[in-house]
């Protein structure tokens, strides 16, 4: 087991390097022996040898590639630990709501809270882990070891319909359809969202390029189209239901993607001043409005995720060419939110 090594005297070019000064007593020792002893058993000598041979060790800021090299008094020996490799995902018996399955693909209704593929902080308990258990070896390597069969994804806290490829042919076909964003007429992705306020137009389009936020690299924001990282993004929306009026209002909106950018619906709806209820990233400043919703205030204020559900997915079957379409109802938490808003009595104050 590898043990994280704390930085010791981090002077020199290796940021975060562990550094050790060779004393008179250590003079003449092999480099691997010196380091293994300096690390007080945190790494085995064979592991130290492999790190030296991999170029992770330097002496006086010069790479030392031989474990047999003899160290001299006053020399500074630096070790830079490589980033740990991500583990390959393992099958896990996680229940899946399968809407359709054949030899080419699986269509499922992803619950909110389920991460699609492994990553930092979520190496287990993901949709990929569940699919590996459900499908066995049929997913192996399709689309990459850590993303087997995945041709699109939904955010952790977004629920709804997803399709997964079970072989290379299906993966290529579905990936092409997602890349076309429906421009060729084969695919459609539609979402339902509960947003703050009521858009002024019952039907509209948001066309605004998206890029990374300068203040938070994990967020997306609307940027000028000419910015180097700008990505063309178009969202069509239709107001399905209206709740309340004025500053105490919300609405159920259908959104159809013409492009598929990260956080697209969330950013675009926030851009037109109608962020999703429950969206702490793009609509947290609207949360204070919840207290005005009277009988629905607690439900609105406490909604634990962005109120977004991928309710419809249509695509062309990779093998047969048949038009496939799948729809799902709002999950329980969103249904409860909508019901509370349909019948709420505003705060009189």
Q: Which candidate in 26, 32, 104, 155 is catalytic?
A: 155
CA-CA distance, 161 to 155, in Å (whole number)?
Answer: 12
How are beta strands 159-165 and 308-316 bridged, if at all?
parallel
| C-alpha Rg value of the chain to the nearest Å | 27
Distance CA 87, CA 292 (A): 48
Spatial contact of 209 and 222, defined as CB atoms under 8 Å apart: yes
Residue holding tokens 């703050």?
Answer: 196
How large is the angle between the packed helices 31-38 and 45-53, nearest 10 degrees?
120
Q: Where do the H-state alpha helices sit in the chain? A: 31-38, 45-53, 127-135, 168-180, 264-271, 297-301, 332-342
What secondary structure does DSSP assign to 32-44, as a single string?
HHHHHHHTTTSS-
Q: Alpha-carbon distance 276 to 291, whole Å?
A: 16
Cβ(297)–Cβ(287) under 8 Å? no
Active site residue 109: no
- 218's CB contacts (< 8 A; 6+ apart) are none
Q: What is the DSSP string of 106-133?
A: EEEEEPTT--SS-BTTBSSSSHHHHHHH
Nearest to 211 by CA among 220, 203, 219: 220
Please list the active-site residues. Answer: 155
């Amino acid at each position: 087991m590898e043990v994280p090594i704390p930085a010791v005297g981090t002077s020199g070019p290796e940021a975060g390097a562990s550094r050790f000064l060779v004393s008179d007593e250590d003079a003449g020792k092999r480099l691997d022996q010196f380091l293994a002893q300096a690390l007080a058993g945190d790494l085995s000598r064979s592991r130290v040898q492999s790190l030296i041979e991999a170029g992770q060790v330097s002496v006086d800021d010069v790479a030392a590639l031989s474990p047999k090299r003899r160290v001299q008094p006053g020399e500074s020996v630096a070790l830079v630990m490589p980033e740990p490799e991500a583990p390959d995902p393992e099958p896990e018996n996680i229940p899946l709501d399968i809407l359709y399955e054949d030899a080419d693909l699986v269509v499922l209704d992803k619950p909110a809270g389920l991460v699609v593929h492994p990553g930092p902080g979520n190496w287990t308990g993901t949709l990929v882990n569940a699919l590996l258990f459900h499908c066995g070896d049929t997913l192996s390597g399709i689309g990459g070891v850590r993303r087997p069969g995945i041709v699109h994804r939904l955010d952790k806290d977004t629920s709804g319909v997803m399709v997964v490829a079970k072989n290379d042919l299906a993966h290529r076909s579905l990936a092409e359809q997602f890349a076309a964003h429906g421009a060729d007429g084969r695919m459609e992705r539609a979402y339902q969202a509960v947003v703050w306020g009521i858009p002024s137009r019952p039907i509209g389009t948001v066309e605004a390029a998206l890029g990374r936020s300068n203040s938070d690299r994990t967020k997306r924001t609307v940027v000028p189209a000419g910015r180097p990282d700008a990505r063309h993004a178009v969202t069509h929306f239709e107001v399905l239901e209206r709740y309340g009026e004025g500053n105490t209002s919300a609405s159920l909106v259908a959104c159809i993607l013409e492009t598929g950018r990260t956080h697209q619906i969330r950013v675009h709806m926030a851009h037109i001043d109608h962020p999703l209820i429950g969206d702490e990233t793009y609509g947290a400043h609207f949360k204070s409005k919840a207290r005005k919703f009277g009988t629905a205030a607690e439900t609105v204020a406490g909604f634990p995720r962005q109120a977004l559900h991928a309710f419809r997915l249509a695509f062309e079957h990779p093998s047969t060419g048949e038009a496939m379409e799948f729809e799902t109802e709002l999950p329980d938490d969103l249904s409860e939110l909508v019901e509370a808003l349909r019948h709420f009595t505003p705060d009189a104050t």
